[in-house]
């Protein structure tokens, strides 16, 4: 089986878009702090009517985290899933049985798993009230998925400068086609430490725990405190012992190779600032290391490898809603983050003067053939969040090279991408498994492809090569997505298009929750 060749860190638009115009624009964007017609804007109020198709899609998308769970399952709604990987971590004296498989295989990759938790946390913090407004069970499913990961991450951090970042041998795993419930191969636990550092994965795990600590702050205070303690220690570890985990763990280069760790350090510091209110974390991102790692003025794609665009939007929240204790230098840094965030948003909007040309013929943002949907869902999530920051702060418009756009324009862009995913596309197919009447039937997913009563051992290759639909539905999985010409080949062997991933699902959950109804942002996560 050919491993997924996820090329990390697409360096922003420059690989596939007209970067020169965007960079030039980013440096001269004017953020209008005062608009003469600001007072005419409506004051943000309670949510409006629920958009039922997004509510239905959210209910489907949340189930994928149940599909991906490892460990001893409780009250799992997926009938064909059972207990798996119960001995994970025993080789090092730890319980690493929880957590989630990243996609259609059975490796626990800590880097994308932590990112999934960070995005789930951000989604709940921004839109948890909307999830529960549709159905309280939706919020409960999101919280359950988040805690299943953070329970694992806590156990994976047994001491200050040790973090277990992978369970399983990816080469051995990818040579097998089997159900997770019947795995029998050796599953080694892999760590980073002071002599074999992994700054990006340690920092992303710190971000996940800091963000999750805010989610659980009013639900389980002691658990929230524990998460925050781990987050702070992990950030110190990540920053003190700098080095790429791709060098420390060479095997990961074929799967989740890192393009650098500066973005994760800024991302983690930004989340720790929100979680603690400690200005040293804000200073870290805006003054101490902003010029080094943020690459202000250069729009980039938001993904599991590159967190810069996410950090720019997250710190724009501070600029929108105020930080009276910030120094002049910090305020200048926040302004640069916000300007770059708006340059990113301008690249998304299809009729913007600086719009990226990286789109399919059908209007989908399209960057890379592997897991092509991860970028449009990430862009849509950032656009919805930013539109709500604008609405709540009564900011009527952002400017893209002289042309202005309202919060509604940002939401319309996000709707266009989500509607494409849900079936409004040239193939007339829903890329969300289980949503609608026409969705992929041969999802590249071991557990879904093998009948529950089949005995395969490692050699279930016949199920990979079968031309029949999967016997089990990987419900809620967002598959890789279409090619740039909007075509899609529903084949289990076509993993670049038919394999789902938890991190793409987390982003989809976020944007669907934001689009459920008209909304406004909370001004503080505290």
Span 42-75, pLDDT tens digits = 344 446 789 999 999 999 999 999 999 999 999 8
**How high is the pLDDT of residue 318?**
94
Average pLDDT rounded to a whole number, residues 432-442: 98
Task: Count other C-beta atoms under 10 Å from residue 56's C-beta.
Answer: 16
Say yes or no to pLDDT of 255 above 90: yes
SS3 for 412?
helix
Residue 4 predicted with pLDDT over 80: no
Q: Give the Cα separation of 50 and 221 in Å (integer).
A: 32
Q: For residue 317, is pLDDT > 60? A: yes
For residues 454-468, give the mean pLDDT: 92
Q: What does the pLDDT read at residue 193?
A: 98
Question: Mean pLDDT over residues 338-344, rounded?
Answer: 97
Span 201-214, mean pLDDT?
A: 98
- Apex 222 CA angle, 100 and 94, nearest 5: 40
Q: Which of 174, 230, 295, 444 is catalytic?
A: 444
Beta partners for residue 405, in sequence order: 398
Residue 142 CA to residue 33 CA, distance in Å, equals 36
% of the chain with per-residue pLDDT over 90:
83
Four-residue CA torsion sign, 255, 367, 319, 509: negative
Residue 9 near residue 259, CB atoms below 8 Å = yes
Quick one: 218 exposed, middle or buried, by C-beta within 10 A (0-12, 13-18, 19+)?
exposed
CA 317, CA 327: separation in Å to the nearest integer?
A: 17
Spatial distance between the Cα atoms of 317 and 393, rounded to a whole number of angstroms: 10
Q: With cut-offs at 50, 70 and 90, classify the pLDDT of residue 452.
A: very high
* Contact predicate 349/403, CB 8 Å: no
Residues of the chain with pLDDT > 70, as a percent, come to 90
Within 10 angstroms of residue 345's Cβ, the number of other Cβ atoms is 28
Give the span between the Cα atoms of 111 and 337, in whole angstroms: 24
pTM of the complete model: 0.92
Whole-angstrom distance, CA of residue 460 vs CA of residue 447: 11
DSSP 3-state helix, strand, coil percentages of the chain (rounded to 5)?
A: 50, 5, 45
Catalytic site residue 444? yes
pLDDT tens digits, residue range 5-29?
Answer: 333 333 334 333 333 333 333 333 3
Sorting pLDDT into bands at 50, 70 and 90, what band is 40? very low
pLDDT at 329: 87
- pLDDT for 18 equals 35
pLDDT, position 133:
86
CA atoms of 249 and 258, how far apart (whole Å):
11
For 432, phi then psi, to 5°, come to -100, 110
CA distance 496 to 215: 33
Per-residue model confidence (pLDDT) at position 42: 37
DSSP state of 365: B
**What pLDDT sits at residue 23?**
34
CA distance 21 to 361: 22
């Amino acid at each position: 089986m050919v491993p997924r060749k996820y090329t990390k860190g697409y360096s922003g638009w420059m690989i596939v878009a007209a970067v020169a115009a965007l960079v030039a624009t980013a440096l001269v964007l004017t953020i209008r702090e005062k608009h003469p017609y600001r007072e005419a804007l409506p004051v943000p109020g309670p949510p409006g009517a629920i958009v039922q198709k997004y509510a239905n899609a959210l209910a489907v998308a949340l189930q994928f985290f149940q599909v991906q769970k490892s460990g001893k399952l409780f009250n799992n709604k997926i009938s064909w899933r059972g207990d798996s990987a119960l001995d994970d971590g025993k080789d090092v004296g730890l319980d690493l049985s929880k957590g989630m498989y990243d996609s259609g295989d059975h490796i626990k990759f800590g880097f994308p798993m932590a990112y999934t938790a960070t995005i789930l946390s951000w989604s709940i913090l921004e839109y948890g009230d909307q999830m529960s407004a549709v159905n309280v069970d939706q919020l409960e499913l999101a919280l359950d998925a988040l805690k299943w990961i953070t329970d694992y991450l806590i156990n994976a951090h047994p001491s200050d400068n040790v973090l277990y970042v992978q369970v399983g041998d990816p080469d051995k795993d990818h040579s097998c086609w089997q159900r997770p419930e019947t795995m029998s191969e050796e599953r080694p636990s892999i760590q980073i430490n002071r002599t074999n550092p992994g700054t990006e994965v340690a920092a992303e795990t710190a971000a996940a725990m800091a963000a999750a600590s805010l989610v659980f702050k009013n639900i389980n205070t002691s658990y929230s405190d524990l998460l925050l303690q781990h987050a702070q220690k992990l950030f110190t570890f990540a920053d003190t012992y700098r080095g790429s985990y791709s060098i420390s763990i060479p095997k990961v280069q074929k799967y989740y190779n890192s393009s650098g760790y500066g973005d994760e350090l800024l991302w983690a510091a930004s989340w720790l600032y929100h979680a603690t209110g400690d200005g040293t974390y804000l200073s870290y991102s805006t003054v101490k290391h902003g010029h080094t790692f943020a690459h202000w003025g250069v729009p980039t794609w938001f993904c599991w490898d590159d967190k810069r665009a996410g950090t720019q939007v997250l710190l724009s929240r501070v600029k929108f809603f105020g930080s009276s204790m910030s120094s002049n230098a910090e305020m200048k840094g926040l302004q640069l983050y916000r300007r770059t965030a708006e340059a990113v948003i301008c690249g998304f909007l299809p009729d913007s003067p600086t719009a990226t040309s990286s789109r399919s013929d059908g209007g989908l943002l399209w960057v890379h053939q592997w897991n092509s949907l991860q970028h449009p869902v990430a862009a849509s999530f950032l656009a919805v969040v930013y539109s709500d920051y604008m609405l709540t702060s009564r900011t009527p418009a952002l400017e893209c090279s002289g042309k202005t756009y309202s919060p509604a324009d940002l939401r319309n862009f996000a709707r266009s991408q989500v509607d494409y995913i849900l079936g409004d596309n040239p193939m007339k197919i829903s890329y969300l498994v289980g949503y609608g009447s026409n969705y992929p039937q041969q999802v590249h997913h071991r557990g879904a492809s093998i009948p529950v009563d089949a005995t395969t051992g490692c050699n279930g290759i016949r199920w990979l090569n079968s031309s029949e639909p999967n016997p089990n539905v990987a419900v809620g999985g967002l598959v890789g997505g279409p090619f740039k010409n909007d075509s899609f080949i529903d084949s289990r062997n076509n993993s670049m298009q038919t394999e789902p991933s938890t991190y793409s699902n987390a982003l989809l959950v976020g944007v669907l929750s934001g689009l459920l109804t008209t909304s406004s942002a909370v001004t503080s996560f505290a």
